[in-house]
Amino acid sequence: MGKNSAAPQLGKKKWAFPNAFVILIIFCLVAMVMTWVVPAGRFDRVTEGSITKVVPDSFHLVDSKPQNPWDLFRAIVTGFKRQASLIYMTLFVGAAIFMLESTKAIDIAFRKLARAMKGKEALAIFVVMAVMSLGGATGVFGSVTLVLIPIGIFLSRAMGFDNGLGFAMIFFGSFSGFNVGWANFSTIGIAQTIAELPIFSGFGVRVILHICNFILSYFFVLMYFNKIKKDPTRSLNYETGMALGDYMGSTGENEDVSKVKLTVSQIVSLLALVLGIVTVVIGALKFKWGADHISATFLVVSLVIGLVSRFGANGTADGFIKGCSNVVYAAFIIGFANAISVIMESGLILDTIVYYLSIPINYFGPVAGANFMLIANSIINIFISSGSGQATAVMPIMVPIADITGITRQVAVQAFQFGDGFTNCLIPTIGSLMGGLGFAKVQYGRYLKWATPFVLLQIVLACVAITILQSIGWTGL
């Protein structure tokens, strides 16, 4: 009797939040079901210069194209093909970082830096986030954000903290600027072009919004820093039963790192990485480099590290492959995430979603309508995660609505930017988010629980800003 009653207890497992891949598959299934329920529809589009615009009032229903389970699996493969450049970049960056790590150069260098910043960790976080925020606001740190997350992780670990803090410094630093950026052509520039506003007009207000958002983001990350400093088990990386050293870095207090000297090969390896990062930043800023250029740069960095460290041809190749294998999880998440958009595009329901979300705006006054624009864009961002893609899809619709309802075009652009920006820190179709969490080995569900209240606060404050700007008739001219 006792044996039988105990048996069910032995097989009982504690419920665990689904990992990122399970969540993405669920999203894909939901998207597939939506193609059977949501009517298929399309807008007409015209191309003017390099920008493809939606023609307002051109929405029309078309024959449905519901997706089946086989289409879902094909969409996953297509998602990998579409994001191939970003996936390769993730693998190649991971390989370069792994090879540098194997030389012990980055460990020694960051321990020295952490020792110099002892007691000034809050300042170090501020400086790192400020640099990232400026890059995000100007559109420089697009793909580069994902590249720099491993560096943030190394710095955090060297200071004695976890991967989650390193991820947060880089990611929230960059997006504190990107989400309200005043000089990012791929989002604000395209939106203003479609709205027939001067490029980067409204500069002063957006700089103020950027500063406010950066301060808010900094204190959010600082709260996390203070929380895990006081109680390490509240780390995003902590699992029950883990020893402290399994998820928190070591400050090396018992080591005299001042006596440890970097060798010539270690110094050259570090310089190769620094030069690689500088190269991709300049390339992105001046020559509009994308993920392919960044991948090629870090392939060269890997080869240089292998050469100067005397790994030999076989050792360099083996190190490169092993480095790639360490970040396969992060790379694969990016491919799976894109499958959601592929399913909805193939099912012809993306335009329908945009159209029906735009209808209620016509029935509100200008202030309420402007706020609904923000909310609508936040929802649309779940389905169209590309900032430039969302701008070209929604702005041709939002601009005529704004003119009819009395919303200024500059406020309509700002509502788009807020809606497109803040939810980037939550939705699983954002490559830099999911790839960064993969680098940091942070579960998406745990991250979501931590970050959602902060993002909701940002959206509420954005609604306040939109209300004020529309109430004063802000034109930004």
Calculate mean pLDDT across residues 118-129. Answer: 89
More confident residue, 474 or 190: 474
Question: Which residues, listed in sequence order, are joined to residue 42 by a DSSP beta bridge?
Answer: 60
The pLDDT of residue 1 is: 41
Calculate mean pLDDT across residues 386-398. Answer: 79
pLDDT reading at 193 higher than 60: yes
Q: Where are the domains of the chain?
A: 84-234+255-471
The pLDDT of residue 70 is: 95
User: Distance (Å, rounded) from C-alpha 217 to C-alpha 168?
Assistant: 9
More confident residue, 276 or 110: 276
The pLDDT-based confidence of 116 (bands split at 50, 70, 90) is confident
The pLDDT of residue 82 is: 85
pLDDT reading at 142 higher than 80: no
The pLDDT of residue 134 is: 86
pLDDT reading at 146 higher than 90: no
Calculate mean pLDDT across residues 192-207. Answer: 88
The pLDDT-based confidence of 196 (bands split at 50, 70, 90) is confident
More confident residue, 23 or 10: 23
The pLDDT of residue 446 is: 93
pLDDT reading at 8 higher than 50: no
Where is average pLDDT lowest: 43-57, 128-142, 434-448, 459-473? Answer: 43-57
The pLDDT of residue 140 is: 63
The pLDDT-based confidence of 74 (bands split at 50, 70, 90) is very high
The pLDDT-based confidence of 12 (bands split at 50, 70, 90) is low
The pLDDT of residue 6 is: 45
pLDDT reading at 304 higher than 70: yes
The pLDDT-based confidence of 50 (bands split at 50, 70, 90) is low
pLDDT tens digits along 324-367: 888 788 788 778 877 888 898 899 988 888 888 788 887 888 99
The pLDDT of residue 163 is: 94
pLDDT tens digits along 394-433: 888 888 888 878 899 999 999 999 998 999 999 887 878 9
pLDDT reading at 472 higher than 70: yes
The pLDDT of residue 460 is: 97
pLDDT reading at 230 higher than 90: yes
Mean pLDDT (the chain) is: 85
More confident residue, 116 or 7: 116
The pLDDT of residue 207 is: 92
